[in-house]
């Protein structure tokens, strides 16, 4: 997913920031400060949208998730890149329990043949519930792990940052004063929007390449993930799906 590249330069940065006031800090010092805030966060609200020419039904093109270091999360994913419509689903994970509520398009796109039509009718408006012992639910819930998410960003840096970062003029993103840091890496242009005031958190990151663009927004650093889970009467056990189509169950793309 595009998250592997977004803000990779933050993780490639080295050394602590030497100043507190953004106006007195270099682009690299601001990137270092943003890296520390992102690394130290116990939980985050992440919104990501990716546009690419590569057509793939089982890869998320966007997600809106609240997630934490314990692997808990709640939110939604939209499947399908490059113009493919893979449907969408709501996702809740608490401990090793997982609930997913796909729409009809998801079932028809992800489960081939008549089984998809049947699943859309059988599970209409209800969550499929199980645990991470189930390969499908485990694969979908991989996006819920904050440590894995940060690791993906770090691995996306390839161990080296851009040749340089350029500090732009202060602007505003969603009501927050930010300083844009721009650079180029692996043939892609990126901008990191770092909060002007302490703590210097990464607020938004964008990446633009010849055949893809990614926008990621980060909020609610340290705010606990809501612990409400779907009730039993809103849920259907995953075994019902297995009984209906044991060899044709959906999975999330990498």
Establish if 15 belongs to a structural domain: no
List 67's β-bridge partners, or say none.
44, 73
> Residue 158 has what pLDDT?
44
Establish if 127 belongs to a structural domain: yes
Q: Which domain holds residue 120?
A: 54-146+225-244
> Residue 8 has what pLDDT?
55
List 207's β-bridge partners, or say none.
190, 214
Q: How far apart are CA 216 and CA 219, in angstroms?
A: 10
Q: Under a CB-based contact definition with an 8 Å cutoff, are residues 159 and 12 in contact?
A: yes
Q: How far apart are CA 197 and CA 10, in angstroms?
A: 18
Establish if 172 belongs to a structural domain: no
Q: How far apart are CA 112 and CA 131, in angstroms?
A: 23
Establish if 79 belongs to a structural domain: yes
Profile the chain (254 residues) by mean pLDDT over runs of 10 residues.
Answer: 53 51 89 93 96 87 95 95 91 96 92 85 92 88 85 57 81 96 91 96 94 94 96 92 60 46
> Residue 116 has what pLDDT?
87
Establish if 170 belongs to a structural domain: no
**Burial group, residue 169, by CB count within 10 angstroms (0-12, 13-18, 19+):** exposed
Establish if 14 belongs to a structural domain: no
Residue 190: both structure tokens together: 């990126």
> Residue 88 has what pLDDT?
95
Establish if 35 belongs to a structural domain: no
Establish if 121 belongs to a structural domain: yes
Q: How far apart are CA 91 and CA 64, in angstroms?
A: 10
Residue 134: both structure tokens together: 């189930």
Q: Under a CB-based contact definition with an 8 Å cutoff, are residues 23 and 40 in contact?
A: no
3-class secondary-structure state, position 205: strand
Burial 241-252 (b: 16+ CB within 10 A, else e): beeebeeebbeb
Q: State how many domains the chain has.
A: 1
* Residue labelled with tokens 């059988």: 122
3-class secondary-structure state, position 78: strand
Q: How far apart are CA 19 and CA 23, in angstroms?
A: 9
């Amino acid at each position: 997913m595009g998250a592997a590249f977004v803000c990779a330069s933050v993780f490639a940065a080295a050394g602590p920031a030497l100043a507190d006031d953004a106006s007195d800090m270099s682009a690299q010092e601001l990137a270092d400060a943003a890296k520390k805030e992102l690394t130290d966060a116990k939980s985050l609200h992440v919104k990501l949208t990716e546009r690419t020419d590569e057509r793939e039904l089982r890869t998320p093109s966007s997600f809106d998730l609240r997630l934490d270091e314990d692997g808990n999360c709640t939110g939604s994913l939209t499947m399908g890149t490059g113009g493919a419509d893979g449907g969408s689903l709501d996702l809740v994970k608490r401990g090793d329990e997982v609930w997913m509520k796909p729409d009809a398009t998801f079932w028809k796109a992800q489960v081939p043949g008549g089984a998809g039509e049947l699943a859309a009718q059988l599970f209409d408006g209800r969550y499929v519930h199980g645990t991470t012992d189930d390969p499908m639910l485990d694969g979908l819930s991989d996006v819920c792990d904050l440590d894995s998410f940060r690791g993906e960003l770090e691995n996306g840096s390839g161990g080296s940052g851009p040749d340089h970062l350029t500090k732009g003029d202060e602007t505003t993103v969603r009501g927050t004063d930010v300083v844009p840091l721009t650079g180029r890496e692996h043939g892609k242009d990126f901008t990191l929007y770092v909060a002007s005031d302490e703590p210097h958190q990464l607020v938004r990151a964008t990446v633009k390449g010849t055949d893809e663009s990614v926008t990621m927004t980060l909020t609610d650093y340290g705010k606990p993930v809501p612990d409400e889970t779907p009730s039993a009467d809103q849920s259907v056990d995953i075994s019902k799906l297995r009984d209906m189509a044991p060899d044709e169950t959906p999975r999330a793309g990498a």
